[in-house]
Structure 1
Amino acid sequence: MEKLTLFSFFKFKLALPMLTLFTIISSLWSTALISIINNKISGAPMPFFEGYDWQIFVFVALTSFLFTYYFKLHIVKITLNFGKDMMLKIINTLRLSDYESYLRLGEAKIRTAMEDIGTLEDIPETFISLLNALVMAIVTIAYMFYLYPPGAFMIIGIVVVLSSIYAYTSSIIEKNMDEERDLEDSFMDNYNDFIHGFNKIKMSTKRSNSIFFDFMKKNREKGVSLMIKSQKAALGNDVLGEFSFNLLIASILFIMPVVFTVDRGVISGFMFAVLFLIGPITALIGLIPGVIAFNIAISRLNKFTEITTSKFNYEKLSKDLTDDLGSFEKLTINEVTYEYLDEKEDKISFTLQPASLEVSKGEVIFIYGGNGSGKSTFINILSGLCLQKTGEIFFNDTLITNENRKFYRNKLSCIFSNNYLFSENYDGFDLTESNEEFVELLKEMKLDEVIRKNEEENKVHQDLSSGQKKRLALIYSLLEDKDIFVFDEWAAEQDPEFRKYFYQNIIPGLKNKGKTVIAITHDDAYYQYCDRLIKFDYGHMHEIEEKLLGVHSF
């Protein structure tokens, strides 16, 4: 994605020409307004249009109103399309990225990017208000030059000094807001840990105190401190704004008559101009915090784009799901390795040692090992989610590469330990009563009286326990009817009765259909139902001797 700027919103069709026309009309309206009011107050006739002052006023006001309405309507369309395009670009970027890049990026940064897009959707409206106020200010200053150039230079000098002070305090606000956003990202990470890991927090007083006092409380205290600093600077700007008008009025009333030889008409004209400036200057001051927020959002989105562009690996996906891998006969995993890096990505925290495995059609393979032993890493490589550092994977006799890995993944149906059920039926399964297979599977999984089906939208409501969700995930997996089934601790959340049913009925049923099953499990009471048993230990793979497995009950 190209680098964003504040003007990115106005690169759409007709946006810049209309913006130019809007500026011209706003200038004409401001000029006409100042001229008509001043001439009415002073009793002087309108130049060039003597006797048509109210007609000119109505014409310019009506023209400005109509064009402003249609211009803002056009900008609304631009805004909505810009937000839509940005959001879809980010989602598509993530969709095409590899799994490891996605995990390194993290959920918090993705959510922040989406929030930043929402912030940027206010740019056009704010920019129009900013432009309107700026045009009125410029026209008013031009009117001062028309009245008396030396006095106008004096006023500009004062405005420049005050603006410099205002710009400095605004930079402090922007810096504090940017830092506060970093703290907000960290806080959301802590908050997600708190929500998703609440049971673990309750199990350790040390952990509970640490997440609250050392992280969340400390984060919020620092965040509030920064916000107070920002508010102090913002209040200073507000007071400066009020003081500025007093200073300008004092300059006109007390300094101009002394420094310059001017009559009362010039003084009253300058007083009128300054009073007329109050509105646009106040508007400009009020819009500055929004502009600061826009700059921060743009900066963060550009950083997000830089990360996803320079550090992401991408895959080529297409709507064409056909492949030339053929029907599954065997899977060969040859000396694959993998390395996990720490958060700074400069040290290796875990290494999967060279692992090899050959899987034939119809085999049932169980994998077990302690936490951090490498079994889930191996499954992620086997399933095509993670790319091995060294080694090769062959589907039948075809080497799996970046070009065909998407087709390889389509051959596998996986239920991971952190299984998630989608809110919509993205796979397009027939989840209605007319699908006899689905109805029978619901009965087999004892979900037929639990599931609430939505026939009209072809989906089911998922107010289920964790074990029931795993069973529904298994139904979806069976409906996929893939060649290879991968289960990561599927039975861990099932009651003893259904756990037994899984090993004694479901897995043998798949084997009898010629399906291949690879399952991570610690249910050693059921190891007799696999053909081969694999153990992982500190990154090393070991195949357990067949005589230790017991008798098959297939």
Structure 2
Amino acid sequence: MTSRRELLAPFALPLAAAGLLGALASAATVALLATTNSLLAQAERRPDELAVFGLLCLVAFGGNALADMLTNRAGQHLVARLRRSLAERILAAPLDALERYRTHRLMPVLTGDIDAVSDLAFLFAPLAIAGAVILGCVGYLVWLSPPLAFLVCALAGAGSVAVYATRLRGVAGFWQARESEDALHKSYRTLIEGARELRLSRNRRSELLDGAMAPTIETIRRVNTRAINVFVLANAAGSTLYFAVIALVAAGGAWLQVEDAAVLTGTVLVLLYMKGPIDQIMQALPPLVRAQISLRRVAELNEAFAAGEAPGDEVPTATSFGSLELSGVRYAYPAPADGEAFALGPLDLAVKAGETVFVVGSNGAGKTTLINLLLGLHAPQAGELRLDGRPVDAAGRDAYRQTFSAVLSDYFLFETLPAGADPDAARAHIDWLGLGGKLSVEGGRLSTLDLSSGQKKRLALVHACLEDRPVMVFDEWAADQDPRFRRMFYETVLPELKRRGRTLIVISHDDRYFHIADRLVRLEAGRIVPATAEAGR
């Protein structure tokens, strides 16, 4: 399991170095206090003491600056490492695991949480320096007067325990606010992806804004305000108690029979100076707590996608492909709370190189799940997936997927051409599919993606053709096309791709074109049933 400590482990050395530099700067600061107290008690200042004072100032400045620069460097590297690591985990994660995690839970981690984690590194040196200054000051107090030092520690310790107990309520509030962030991002996604539908329905707009977003936003505001106020009140109480401690120390000096005025002056001077580092630690607690919460979220996401797939080196070519086969394959989705789980299989299906296979059936029959299994996007829960008679295991699944180009129903359109694609070939395909007047290819990039849904689908087909893979898969490709391009897809594009030697697997409801297929595979309720429609020529 990936722990928060393991995420920070690679940066232990620079952070430790920053801590040592901070300790050096803190020692110099405490020495400055002692020197200042000594100089104030003298009638005349010797040049060597003034030189020591100046040297201590340089050491304190240099130590603080170098410690901050080291933590800044470590923080930036930490953020970069986390971003790349999580991107690699997500790319390698099984698709069903990614689908279960949901986008609205991913985005807050990939954006806000990773940035918040960097606060741990940025806060490390200042807090280490502040802590070291406090320890050094306590040591100086012990040197001045052990009884006074004991009185200070006892009073400060009792006050710190009370203040810490109060701050725990603030920590709980930050956790509650962070939980609400996921719900808010879910609403943001609806706001963007459902823009057209929302404009068509005032009721839906009201439900989203007033029923979902506004209460969540208000909850986050209320909880964060209350949590931060708890810290503010705790800090204010702590400051008041601190000055009470100084007053008690001044009174306790007489009670403890401390007659040396320099000792009392030095003690009060040190206590007043300690107030700054103590306030620094107190003010850092809210961002530190939020950073710890974010680090836990990042660690959870890292762990959720820990069982990723290693990318394979072998990339099959068109000449090496002979057949695909599902043998006794089963796949079931998790059961919803209010119903039964959909299960596909057991299925036995073989697709030979060069075939055109139409997958048909009613909505919900399992066509898309079957395609996901054939593409290697979902791993069979039982049975085997085979390429040219050889089982495809987890280690070879990524290489197996390179056999396919696909235009799925929920496809994503990239702005760049596939790696190694010939720009002239891209232009030829763009013209072939009637997009020549809509966009151009410039330096391996497409000039625009501002197209209609049907045009975007044709552009996705251009991408699939340029990948030049042996098997091409289309999930209801013609559904968004006008009659002209629908007919062109079945009567021109598919035959041309078949002529080029491609194996074609097509999900379709267009029964008037079923005769284009060499074979129909009909699914009903997750099982393959005999196909009655005519297929083949």
Separation in 2, partners of 1:365, 1:327? 20
Cα shift at 1:230: 0.3
Contact 2:365–2:525 (8 Å) recurs in 1: yes
Partner residue, 1:25: 24
User: Structure 1 residues 332 and 21, CA, compared in 2 at 3 Å: closer, same or farther?
Assistant: closer
Partner residue, 1:331: 324
What are the equivalent positions in structure 2 for 1:136-535 lying under 5 Å apart?
A: 136-201=133-198, 210-258=207-255, 260-309=257-306, 312=307, 314-318=308-312, 320-323=313-316, 327-342=320-335, 349-425=341-417, 427-431=419-423, 435=424, 437-455=425-443, 458=445, 460-535=447-522
Separation in 1, partners of 2:210, 2:434? 45
User: Structure 1 residues 133 and 400, CA, compared in 2 at 3 Å: closer, same or farther?
Assistant: closer
User: Structure 1 residues 374 and 427, CA, compared in 2 at 3 Å: closer, same or farther?
Assistant: same
Q: Residue 81 of structure 1 aligns to which amino acid in structure 2?
A: H
Contact 2:24–2:60 (8 Å) recurs in 1: yes
Comparing 399-408 with 204-213, which one deviates more in the overlay?
204-213
Cα shift at 1:34: 0.4
Contact 2:174–2:227 (8 Å) recurs in 1: yes
Q: Could you report, residue by residue, the CA deviation over 1:215-263 in whole angstroms, capped at 9, with x for unpaired residues?
A: 3333333323322320221221232133123312321344443454545
Say whether 1:78 aligns with 2:74.
Answer: yes
TM-score (structure 2 length as normaliser): 0.90
Comparing 506-515 with 525-534, which one deviates more in the overlay?
525-534
User: Structure 1 residues 488 and 354, CA, compared in 2 at 3 Å: closer, same or farther?
Assistant: same
Cα shift at 1:284: 1.4
Comparing 113-122 with 258-267, which one deviates more in the overlay?
258-267
Partner residue, 2:49: 53
Separation in 2, partners of 1:51, 1:468? 83
Comparing 1-10 with 530-539, which one deviates more in the overlay?
1-10
Cα shift at 1:339: 0.3
Q: Could you report, residue by residue, the CA deviation over 1:420-441 in whole angstroms, capped at 9, with x for unpaired residues?
A: 122444523233xxx2x22211
| Matched position secondary structure for 1:419 | coil
Separation in 1, partners of 2:190, 2:498? 40
Separation in 1, partners of 2:339, 2:49? 78
Separation in 2, partners of 1:29, 1:253? 26
Separation in 2, partners of 1:229, 1:20? 33
TM-score (structure 1 length as normaliser): 0.88
Separation in 2, partners of 1:120, 1:82? 8
User: Structure 1 residues 71 and 283, CA, compared in 2 at 3 Å: closer, same or farther?
Assistant: closer
Contact 1:174–1:296 (8 Å) recurs in 2: no
Q: Residue 397 of structure 1 aligns to which amino acid in structure 2?
A: G
Separation in 2, partners of 1:9, 1:354? 47
Cα shift at 1:416: 0.8
Q: Could you report, residue by residue, the CA deviation over 1:110-156 in whole angstroms, capped at 9, with x for unpaired residues?
A: 32332322212232331111122222222222222222221221111
Comparing 6-15 with 331-340, which one deviates more in the overlay?
6-15
User: Structure 1 residues 241 and 106, CA, compared in 2 at 3 Å: closer, same or farther?
Assistant: same
User: Structure 1 residues 31 and 329, CA, compared in 2 at 3 Å: closer, same or farther?
Assistant: closer
Cα shift at 1:297: 1.9
Comparing 480-489 with 298-307, which one deviates more in the overlay?
298-307
Cα shift at 1:365: 2.2
User: Structure 1 residues 93 and 482, CA, compared in 2 at 3 Å: closer, same or farther?
Assistant: same
Aligned pairs, how many?
A: 536
| Matched position secondary structure for 2:342 | strand
Query: Which stretches in structure 1 are left out of the alignment for 5+ residues?
Result: none
Contact 2:26–2:60 (8 Å) recurs in 1: no
Say whether 1:38 aligns with 2:25.
Answer: no
Partner residue, 2:131: 134
Q: Could you report, residue by residue, the CA deviation over 1:418-476 in whole angstroms, capped at 9, with x for unpaired residues?
A: 11122444523233xxx2x2221111112222114322x55544232222221111111
Contact 2:316–2:402 (8 Å) recurs in 1: no
Cα shift at 1:478: 0.7
The percent identity for this pair of structures is 25
Q: Residue 193 of structure 2 aligns to which amino acid in structure 1?
A: H
Separation in 2, partners of 1:424, 1:32? 62
Separation in 2, partners of 1:539, 1:185? 34
Separation in 2, partners of 1:67, 1:264? 33
Separation in 1, partners of 2:402, 2:512? 32
User: Structure 1 residues 271 and 165, CA, compared in 2 at 3 Å: closer, same or farther?
Assistant: same
Cα shift at 1:343: 6.2
| Matched position secondary structure for 2:421 | coil
Q: Could you report, residue by residue, the CA deviation over 1:198-229 in whole angstroms, capped at 9, with x for unpaired residues?
A: 44556667765554455333333332332232
Q: Residue 192 of structure 1 aligns to which amino acid in structure 2?
A: R
Separation in 1, partners of 2:461, 2:198? 30
| Matched position secondary structure for 2:406 | strand
Partner residue, 2:94: 98
Separation in 2, partners of 1:137, 1:198? 56
Cα shift at 1:191: 2.3
Query: Which stretches in structure 2 are left out of the alignment for 5+ residues?
Result: none
Contact 1:177–1:226 (8 Å) recurs in 2: yes
